[in-house]
Amino acid sequence: MSDVTLPPLRNRGPAWLYEGNWSLRIGLVSFLIILLAAIFAPLVTSYDPIAIDLAKALQPPSLVHWMGTDHLGRDVFTRVVFAARVDLQIGAIGVALPLIIGTIVGLIAGYYGGWVDAVIGRIVDVIIAFPFLVLVIAIVAMLGPGLINLYIALTVVSWVLYTRIIRAETIALKKREYVLAARNLGFGHLRIMFGHILPNAIAPALVFAMSDFALDVQVGATLSFFGLGAQPPTPEWGLMIAETRSMMLTAPWVVVGPGLAIVVVSLVVSLIGDGLADKVRRLDG
């Protein structure tokens, strides 16, 4: 008894493939190129990122050394590419752990409300009250320098931001009729939280995650600059700048390479974030 005709179904597949969204496309493609370069770093360059060759120290950029060499004769371009492994890892882990933890806590706070929400809310308020960078530095200084401790510090400090976003979305969504319908149908709390609320609440958190990624890369570089993150001779952008900053005026190429890398990665993830934000707005509208 099909007495109703349907509008033609939309094309299948991810929307960004057929909906014009250039910042998302350019961002994703650039990010993929950077990621592949980091993974296949030994294929991208033939130099060793760590071996010292003082005879070649502080050579300006040339066809053989695109970004010149540093004070220990290491190819700057090679070190920038290898450093992407460390810095992208800081961004990825620094986003993934807080995103997962913050999302689950935010769902619980928003869904159950009452004293659960009140307790979580106070913890969030306390952590947010501290300046971000100060708290990260304090935790790393307390735990000791190193990347693992940096990940712990980033997670402890930034899960609260995701909790805030997801909590607010959850509170708005749980009054929606489709969530009421899910309860009416006898679905369990976990199914409602993760199957019906989370997929509709996650978009703004993912948009925020992109700017958070850029921030984490910068914080990682900053802490390494201060000697609290990656340790020499590991190639890492912030550490590279720290090691060579005294030569900045006589041999500027030693800091230009890693500095540019930080800027480019931040720009690329911001493009992705912009594109995602645009998509989210279109979904809502």
Q: Which residues make up the interface to other proteins (CB under 8 A)?
A: 1-7, 9-10, 176-178, 180-188, 191, 195-196, 199-200, 283
> Nearest distance from residue 111's CB to other proteins, in Å?
13
When the beta carbons of 6 and 55 are compared against other proteins, the nearer one is: 6
> Nearest distance from residue 282's CB to other proteins, in Å?
11
When the beta carbons of 21 and 218 are compared against other proteins, the nearer one is: 21
> Nearest distance from residue 42's CB to other proteins, in Å?
42
> Nearest distance from residue 202's CB to other proteins, in Å?
9
When the beta carbons of 20 and 199 are compared against other proteins, the nearer one is: 199
β-bridge mates for residue 69, sequence order: 75
Distance CA 259, CA 130 (A): 28
Three-state DSSP state, 103? helix
Residue 5 neighbours by CB under 8 Å, 6+ apart: none
Strand (E) or helix (H) holding 171 = helix 147-173
When the beta carbons of 7 and 144 are compared against other proteins, the nearer one is: 7
> Nearest distance from residue 110's CB to other proteins, in Å?
17
DSSP string, 233-271: TS--HHHHHHHHGGGTTT-THHHHHHHHHHHHHHHHHHH
When the beta carbons of 51 and 181 are compared against other proteins, the nearer one is: 181
Query: Would you state the structure tokens that stand for residue 24, as one six-digit string?
Result: 């998302």
How long, in residues, is the chain? 285
CB 55 within 8 A of CB 73: yes
